[in-house]
């Protein structure tokens, strides 16, 4: 969103960029900023622990939303809940 706003309202000078940046950031929801901040903290923690890029990526993915291996299959935990 920020990039698009800046590109649409740009004359390719640094002064205009400085002027438009607060306006562009005002269009971003606070919730979105917080989510990205939490994600970046996880990346920084992984790199501080000395992990390589692929290992850090796997660690960050552990915190992401639930992913299912197939769109045609119900996860076992959900299926058990319906069986009870």
Tens of pLDDT along the chain (84 residues) come to 888 989 998 898 999 999 999 999 898 899 988 988 988 999 999 999 999 999 999 888 887 766 666 667 777 777 788 776
Quote the pLDDT of residue 66: 62
What beta strand segments (E) does 1-84 contain?
A: none
Quote the pLDDT of residue 71: 66
Quote the pLDDT of residue 51: 93
For the chain, the residue count is 84
- Which of the 8 DSSP states describes residue 66? -
CA atoms within 13 A on the CB side of 66: 7
**Model pTM score:** 0.52
d(CA 56, CA 34): 20
């Amino acid at each position: 969103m920020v990039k698009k706003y800046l590109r649409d309202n740009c004359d390719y000078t640094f002064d205009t960029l400085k002027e438009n940046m607060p306006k562009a950031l005002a269009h971003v929801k606070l919730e979105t900023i917080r989510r990205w901040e939490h994600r970046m903290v996880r990346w920084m923690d992984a790199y501080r622990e000395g992990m390589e890029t692929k290992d850090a990526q796997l660690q960050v993915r552990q915190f992401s939303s639930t992913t299912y291996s197939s769109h045609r299959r119900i996860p076992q935990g959900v299926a058990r809940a319906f069986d009870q």
